[in-house]
Amino acid sequence: MSEIKNYTMNFGPQHPAAHGVLRLILELDGEVVEHADPHVGLLHRGTEKLAESKPFNQSIGYMDRLDYVSMMCNEHAYVRAIEQLLGIEAPIRAQYIRTMFDEITRVRNHLMWIGTHGLDLGAMALFLYAFREREHCMDMYEAVSGARMHATYYRPGGVYRDLPDHMPQYAESKWTKGKNLAYANEWRNGSLLDFIEAFADDFPNKIGEYRTLLQDNRIWKQRTVGIGVVSPEEAKAWGFTGPMLRGSGVAWDLRKKQTYAAYDKVDFDIPVGVNGDCYDRYLVRMEEMVQSTRIIKQCVQWLKNNPGPVMVDEYKVAPPDREMMKEDMESMIHHFKLFTEGYTVPAGEVYAAVEAPKGEFGVFMISDDSNKPFRMKIRAPGFAHLSAMNDMVKGHMLADVVAVIGTMDIVFGEIDR
């Protein structure tokens, strides 16, 4: 009888669950994983080096392209680093707008995650349900920045502009006639804040629909309960953050522990897991969407009652008013110089981090008193999570590798910079 040997296979990058750019080399004993070796490098774009070659204000758009499902959260860390070096702080209204859009971004991220995670594990209907709500979040992005994904909305000293007073409405077409048109524009008869409030009132019911599909579904539980178990000690040793850490029972959240923006002025809870498996991480993210909705509603009420500036009155970083540019040549020259040459940032070094949907997203920046970063290093949460792949899948079946990749919620734009 011949000796049975382990064999090696490639999981990805062509595998749908490998997100197109993860090459995972698996050593298998039958269908049991003996070793997993993740290979990164297929997407490398040199983002940090590119940022070091451009003025500070020209790299905000690069942040959107990192975790391209959590755009404004990436921007937030980057502009916070610049603000700390400059010694400026955004107005309170801008801080509330940032807090609100950070949570809208968290909802967008988790909707993408639950849709694709469900699709990976065979729950096809959920993908359509999640993208139905995600479309509303993309409309919010578009209303405030003009872009549905890569917003470039946060700026050092505040945000690009205040929230619009009117939401764009759908026109009649072959897809929107009669009742369909009225339904499509139901939330669009007021301001952006009215639209966001209507979404926040309705969204908990939609989360209930997702739970009906998954929470006690025996197939879903067979695919996630007891899979990829990570103890609290292991999670901390591996550098886990975000839902990956909180799913193991560690109540660490930068919004509470190292608060920023307006998070100290709103009320919310930190959901944590018990068993540290894929199912607990699913429960944590689902509850995070509920808590994000709470924060969004509080921010909407405050913003409705408190008008004010959304950009610092600092000539060095704030562009001149458009009307002023039409009449004043000096303002026009300042506008061009600001967006082509940027501004000089005092020498120093800083680390600024935010609680992004996937975990702690941080920017370490060194300035040498010029208009470009001397050095920049991005701390991406997904990189630490992916590094634990071997320990999380060892001893599991080949099909469980898909569940573990899904529970990590990895996006390679930030991992493979």
Instruction: Look at residue 85 in the predicted model and tell me its pLDDT.
Output: 95
Domain harbouring 102, CATH code: 1.10.645.10
For residue 354, what pLDDT band results from cuts at 50, 70 and 90? Answer: very high
For residue 32, the surrounding DSSP H or E stretch is: strand 32-39
Residue 82 has a pLDDT of 94
Tens-digit pLDDT profile for residues 100-149: 999 999 999 999 999 999 998 888 889 999 999 999 999 999 999 999 99
| Residue range(s) defining the domain that contains residue 251 | 7-170+178-414
- Asked if residue 2 is part of any domain, the answer here is no
Average pLDDT, the chain: 90
The pLDDT value given to residue 1: 45
Q: How many helices (H) and strands (E) does the chain have?
A: 18, 8
3-state helix, strand, coil in the chain (%, to 5): 50, 10, 35
pLDDT of residue 178: 67
44 vs 62: CA distance, rounded Å: 13
Asked if residue 106 is part of any domain, the answer here is yes
User: What is the pLDDT at residue 4?
Assistant: 60
Half-sphere CA count of 216, side-chain side, radius 13 A: 3
Supply the Cα-derived Rg of the chain in whole angstroms. 23
Looking at the structure of the chain, the number of domains it has is 1
Helices 92-120 and 278-305: crossing angle in degrees, nearest 10, is 150
pTM of the model: 0.93
Q: Which of 63-67, 117-121, 358-362 has the highest mean pLDDT?
A: 358-362
At residue 179, the pLDDT reads 65
Q: Which of 61, 41, 43 is nearest to 51 (CA)?
A: 61
Q: Is residue 209 part of a domain?
A: yes
CB within 8 Å of 154: residues ≥ 6 apart:
60, 72, 75, 76, 78, 79, 98, 160
- Phi–psi pair at 15, nearest 5 degrees: -65, 135
Tokens 């578009």 belong to which residue? 142
pLDDT tens digits, residue range 263-307? 999 999 999 999 999 999 999 999 999 999 999 999 999 999 999
**What is residue 94's predicted lDDT score, i.e. its pLDDT?**
95
- Angle at CA 349, nearest 5°, toward 356 and 64? 35
Q: Which two tokens stand for residue 20?
A: 């197109």
pLDDT above 60 for 2 = no
* Average pLDDT of the residues in 205-211: 93
- Averaged pLDDT for residues 225-236: 93
Listed in sequence order, the residues at least 6 apart from 207 whose beta carbon sits closer than 8 Å to its beta carbon are: 286, 289, 290
Tell me the three state secondary structure of residue 379.
strand
Indicate whether 110 belongs to any domain.
Answer: yes
**Cα(172)–Cα(262) distance, integer angstroms:** 40
Q: Which two tokens stand for residue 299?
A: 């921010």
C-beta separation of 73 from 105 below 8 A: yes
Token duo for residue 184: 């499509």
Distance of CA 271 to the CA centre of its chain: 18
The CA distance from 5 to 23, in Å, is 22
* Residue 1 belongs to a domain: no
Q: Is residue 63 part of a domain?
A: yes
